[in-house]
Chains A and B, each alone.
Chain A
Amino acid sequence: MNGSNPHSSAGVGLVVRGLRKSFAGEEVLHGIDFTVKPGEIFVIMGPSGSGKSVLLKHLIGLETADAGEILINGEPITTPEIAAKYRMALVFQSGALLSSLTVGENVGLYLAEHRLKPPAEIEKIVAEKLADVGLNDVMDKLPNELSGGMKKRAAIARALVIEPQLILYDEPTSELDPLSAVVIGNEILSLNRRTGVTTLVVSHDRDLAFGVADRIAVMAEGRILALGTPAEVKNSNDPQVQNFLRADFQREK
């Protein structure tokens, strides 16, 4: 994929090997294996409850695996210190903007809390990142004054401030109308093409997955059932994959 991307070195490679996780004795990830190339857009697709979001939490360090390993640029991520070497950002399903802060404060939070830039420069960067995702004049608004789509774009702007090498999106188009979903999908594509950031999207939205992905993995019940380019996944022989891809309303004629 991405051969034309001039900044593809910005992204990191990600390898997941034999990842297992149980909650209260019930295994939700049954040995997940996949590789994401630097600068690639990789979409993990599957029905609700298939373990996609749990997998995402492992990648960002919010959960610890029972078995298996995660490697970034070939380095196993075993401690938070090693993980901190790489700039990773997660765009949450809900946006997860801090409701007590303004949009501008949310976007600049990482820089302000780690004292990476002086306040005036942070303000400038925040305005730039918000403009990058098509948000203007929202800096002083509170998150609850924004629409669902705007919240997600503000969350993407907050992720961009970190200048991530790996960006993870959790259900980026859920709860959005089709037009807003397309805007978010285009945003994901455009950021990837512009910055070369390795992108991993978790979604059950088939249109988004086939619209943005360089490669797709289909998950169900904690297992990967199919993995490949969108065309390869479409032609998968797995009945569960076909069932998921072709599910539609049955109107009697």
Chain B
Amino acid sequence: MFENCGEIFLLFWRTLLALPQTWRQRQKVMEQFFEIGNASLLMVCVLSFFIGGVIALNFGPVLVEHSMASAVGGVVGLAIAKELAPVMMAILIAGRIGSAMAAEIGSMSVYQEIDALRTMNINPIHYLVLPRILALAVALPMLVIFSVLVGWFGGAVVANFNHFMDIPFRVFLADLKDIVELRDVVNGVFKSFCFAVIIGVVSCHQGLATIGGPRGIGRSVTKAVVNSIVLIVIFDYILTRCLLK
């Protein structure tokens, strides 16, 4: 993976230089945006609900046992907003959308469709890479906001109905409101924006670098997902460290 870092950074830089083309490519950005939303919304909803629930289930009874029931809402709220929603959604999107991007662009590389674009003086970065990265950079933060809300709801439901906790909705949400600040949610959303760029650049790079037929496409898809997840985890630490109060 690391031998490709220079190429990945170069693709990122070329995409930045292509940003003035955004208005021209707006239709493709919208198409990609709706595709990402359609493909992921239900999955995000289910995943987030159960993540919220499992966090409440893991920490709630312990906190209640130590007479800290009022902290359950805050713990669930913070864990989801600051860490779990951005990272889990980024991993979900890397697996679902990043793999599809690498496969589509990889297949275009193998079957000379990208060469065909070049012969028509159509820059593949403007035509293929920019719309995908922009759509991801908008869609993933929005999915994360949605995920945070559903995750909190999942935590509240479990805290309410689990007989070890029995924390009413109203109390759970009041505790959450006391502990979680807007800044925590904003930081999580900002992290997801960075992860979206990572997924987009890594997946498009793998797609463009694909050689060798269907086997090559399969290899690119795997590398796109694995490399994205590794970089997400590394950047998660770096960003969390930078965003500490």
Taking a contact as CB atoms closer than 8 A, the residue among B104, B117, B121, B122 that contacts A100 in the complex is B104
Is the beta-carbon distance between A113 and B120 smaller than 8 angstroms?
A: yes
Asked whether any CB of chain A lies closer than 8 Å to the CB of B111, the reply is: yes
Chain A to chain B: the 5 pairs with minimum beta-carbon distance, closest first:
A96-B116, A96-B112, A110-B120, A90-B119, A113-B122
Is B235 interfacial (CB 8 A cutoff)? no
Partner of B108, one of A84, A90, A98: A98
The verdict on A62 contacting B122 (CB below 8 Å), with A96-B112, A99-B113 known, is no
Residues A62 and B113 in contact in the complex (CB < 8 Å), given A98-B108, A109-B122, A113-B122: no
Q: Is the CB of A94 within 8 A of B127?
A: no
B121 close to A114 (CB less than 8 A): yes
A-B contact pairs, 25 of them (CB 8 A): A57-B115, A60-B119, A61-B118, A62-B118, A84-B121, A89-B119, A90-B116, A92-B112, A92-B115, A92-B116, A94-B111, A96-B111, A98-B108, A98-B113, A98-B116, A100-B104, A109-B120, A109-B122, A110-B120, A110-B121, A110-B122, A113-B120, A113-B122, A114-B122, A162-B120
Interface hits, B119-155 → A, CB 8 Å: 119-122, 127
Q: Is A201 an interface residue (CB 8 A)?
A: no
Instruction: Specify which chain B residues have a CB less than 8 angstroms from the CB of A92 in the assembled complex.
Output: 112, 115-116
Closest residue of chain A to B122, judged by CB? Answer: A113
CA distance A92 to B117 in the complex (A): 11
Q: A213 an interface residue at 8 Å Cβ cutoff? A: no
Q: In the assembled complex, how far is the CB of residue A168 from the closest CB belonging to chain B, in whole angstroms?
A: 9
Inter-chain contacts of A88 with B (CB < 8 A): 119
Q: In the complex, A61 Cα to B117 Cα: how many Å?
A: 12
Q: Quick one: closest A residue to B112, CB to CB?
A: A96
CA distance A61 to B112 in the complex (A): 14
Is A94 a contact partner of B112 (Cβ separation < 8 A)?
A: yes
Residues of B within 8 A of A99 (CB): 107-108, 111, 113
Taking the closest CB of chain A, its distance from the CB of B132, in whole angstroms, is 13
Residues in chain B near residue A109, CB distance under 8 A: 120, 122
Interface size class of B (residues with CB under 8 A): 10 to 19
A96 x B113 contact (CB < 8 A): yes
Give B110's nearest chain A residue, CB to CB. A94
A13 to B104, CA, bound (A): 38
Q: Note all chain B residues with C-beta closer than 8 A to A162.
A: 120
Extra contacts, 20 of them, besides A94-B111, A96-B111, A97-B116 (Cβ < 8 A), are: A57-B115, A62-B115, A88-B119, A90-B116, A90-B119, A92-B116, A96-B112, A96-B115, A97-B113, A98-B116, A99-B108, A99-B111, A99-B113, A100-B104, A109-B122, A110-B120, A110-B122, A113-B122, A114-B122, A162-B120
Min CB distance, B110 to chain A, in Å? 10
Of chain B, the residue at the smallest CB distance from A170 is B112
Name which residue of chain A comes closest to B25, CB basis.
A113
Residues of B contacting A90 with CB < 8 Å?
115-116, 119
Which of B111, B121, B127 has the largest number of chain A CB atoms within 10 A?
A: B121
Q: How far is the CA of A100 from the CA of B117 in the complex (A)?
A: 13
Kindly list chain A residues whose C-beta atoms are within 8 Å of the C-beta of B118: 61-62
Please, which residues of chain B bring their CB within 8 A of the CB of A100? 104
How long is the Cα–Cα vector from A162 to B119 in the complex, in angstroms? 10
Within the complex, what minimum Cβ distance (angstroms) separates B203 from chain A?
16
Interface string of A64-90 (1 = CB under 8 A from B): 000000000000000000001000111
Q: How far is the CB of B178 from chain A (nearest CB, A)?
A: 50
Once bound together, how far apart are the Cα atoms of A24 and B115, in whole Å? 21
A110 cross-chain contacts in B, Cβ below 8 A: 120-122
- A99, B104: Cα distance in complex, Å: 10
In A28-77, which residues have CB < 8 Å from any B CB? Answer: 57, 60-62
- Cβ proximity bits B90-115 to A, threshold 8 Å, 1 near / 0 not: 00000000000000100110011101
CA A94 to CA B108, docked complex, whole Å: 12
* Nearest Cβ on chain B to A100's Cβ, whole angstroms: 7
Among B113, B116, B117, B122, residue most surrounded by chain A Cβ atoms (within 10 Å): B116
CB–CB B127/A113 < 8 A: yes
Complex contacts, B107 vs chain A, CB 8 Å? 99
- Name the residue of chain A whose CB is nearest to the CB of B123: A113
CA distance A88 to B120 in the complex (A): 8
Question: Across the interface, do B119 and A62 meet the contact criterion of CB distance under 8 Å?
Answer: yes
Report Cα–Cα, A162/B117, bound state, in Å. Answer: 13
CB proximity of B33 to chain A, nearest CB, Å = 16
Q: How far is the CB of A174 from chain B (nearest CB, A)?
A: 13
